[in-house]
């Protein structure tokens, strides 16, 4: 009986909220870290890679509480969201929509790929793919193709995670071979359908927002349930949303988001435990 943990995107505050929730649930006897399959998109790919490395949960949670010295907030406000929606919502063809978003990302002025890669590398405790099955999502910036990296893909873990976290217009697309990739959240903020075939699925979704032809999380969950899976979705509650704030890329909000995630665990423990077993 396979259990899948699906970790969605949501910026640096999404990373913190997920770690808080994971630590809080583990404290209450629900060890989501024991999942046989982990699916990570954007922020979730970072959490998933760290989780599968075997790093103690409490250590990962504690790291979210440290002051963000030397970390500046990236800008991802309403204007940036509006540009993404405008680029991706002008067609009903989801591949074409993603290609338009990719074109925007390719033309944007950002920091260098090498400097961004160094940041991603510094946040991963290991450089090799874990033995456990880990799926990391990304999108080909030129073609709009949805891509899933795993241990058999031949892509370094750092580059796979970097690609999945490459928010268009904020961070540079990641070059892997002759192709360039952007955030896997441009296909879906969660990509829960990749858990198909699992019997029990827990989805941690810092955001469920979708626009244009993006697959909706509700439809993905319905499909999983239609296949016989037991599924539960947890998203930030009102207190967590207030802690996260409007800019999910603001590291100054990280500690509050982590604490809010841990506090929220108390309210969702029974529901998650009923699925996880």
183 included as an active-site residue: yes
- Within-domain flag for 92: no
Per residue in 53-106, pLDDT tens? 989 999 999 999 999 877 766 766 556 666 666 666 667 889 999 999 999 999
Give CA–CA dist 54/64, Å, rounded. 17
CA atoms within 13 A on the CB side of 250: 13
Catalytic residue among 140, 159, 183, 250: 183
* 94 found inside a domain: no
Whether 218 is catalytic is no
Residue owning tokens 């907030």: 73
Report if residue 221 sits inside a domain.
yes
Q: Which two tokens stand for residue 47?
A: 């959490």
For the chain, the domain total comes to: 1
For 174-207, what is each residue's pLDDT tens digit?
A: 999 999 999 999 999 999 999 999 999 999 999 9
Confidence (pLDDT) at 211: 79
> pTM of whole model > 0.85?
yes
Note whether residue 201 is domain-resident: yes
> Catalytic: which of 42, 60, 164, 198?
42
Domain at 225, CATH number: 3.40.1090
With respect to residue 235, please indicate whether it lies within any of the assigned structural domains. yes
- Report how far apart, in Å, the C-alpha atoms of 237 and of each of 131, 188, 189, 220, 227 are: 33, 21, 17, 21, 28
In a domain, 137, yes or no: yes
Name the phi and psi angles at 169, rounded to 5: 85, -10
pLDDT (tens digit per residue) in 101-142:
999 999 988 999 999 999 999 999 888 999 999 999 999 999
- Positive/negative CA dihedral, 104, 42, 134, 158: positive
> Which residue would you say has higher pLDDT here, 74 or 32?
32
> Which is it for the CA torsion 264, 266, 270, 276, positive or negative?
positive
Q: Quote the domain boundaries for residue 215.
A: 3-72+109-276
Q: Given this model, what pLDDT does residue 272 score? A: 98
For residue 77, tell me if it sits in a domain: no
């Amino acid at each position: 009986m396979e259990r899948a943990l699906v970790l969605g995107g949501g910026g640096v505050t999404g990373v913190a909220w997920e770690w808080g929730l994971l630590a809080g649930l583990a404290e209450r006897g629900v060890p989501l870290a024991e999942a046989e399959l982990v699916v990570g998109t954007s922020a979730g790919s970072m959490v998933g890679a760290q989780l599968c490395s075997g790093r103690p949960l409490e250590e990962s949670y504690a790291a979210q509480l440290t002051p963000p010295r030397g970390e500046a907030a990236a800008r991802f406000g309403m204007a940036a969201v509006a540009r993404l929606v405008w680029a991706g919502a002008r067609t009903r063809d989801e591949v074409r929509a993603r290609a338009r978003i990719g074109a925007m990302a390719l033309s944007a002025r950002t920091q260098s790929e090498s400097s961004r890669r160094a940041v991603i590398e510094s946040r991963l405790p290991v450089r090799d793919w874990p033995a456990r099955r880990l799926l990391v999502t990304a999108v080909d910036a030129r073609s709009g193709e949805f891509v899933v990296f795993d241990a058999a893909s031949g892509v370094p873990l750092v580059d796979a995670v970097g690609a999945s976290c490459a928010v268009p217009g904020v961070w540079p697309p990641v070059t892997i071979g002759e192709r360039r990739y952007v955030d896997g959240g441009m296909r879906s903020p969660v990509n829960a359908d990749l858990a198909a075939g699992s019997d029990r699925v827990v989805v941690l979704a810092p955001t469920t927002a979708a626009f244009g032809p993006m697959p909706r999380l509700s439809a993905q969950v319905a499909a999983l349930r239609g296949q016989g899976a037991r599924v539960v979705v947890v998203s930030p509650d009102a207190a967590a949303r207030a802690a996260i704030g409007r800019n999910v890329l603001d590291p100054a909000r990280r500690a509050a988001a982590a604490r809010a995630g841990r506090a929220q665990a108390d309210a969702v423990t029974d529901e998650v435990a009923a699925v996880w077993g």
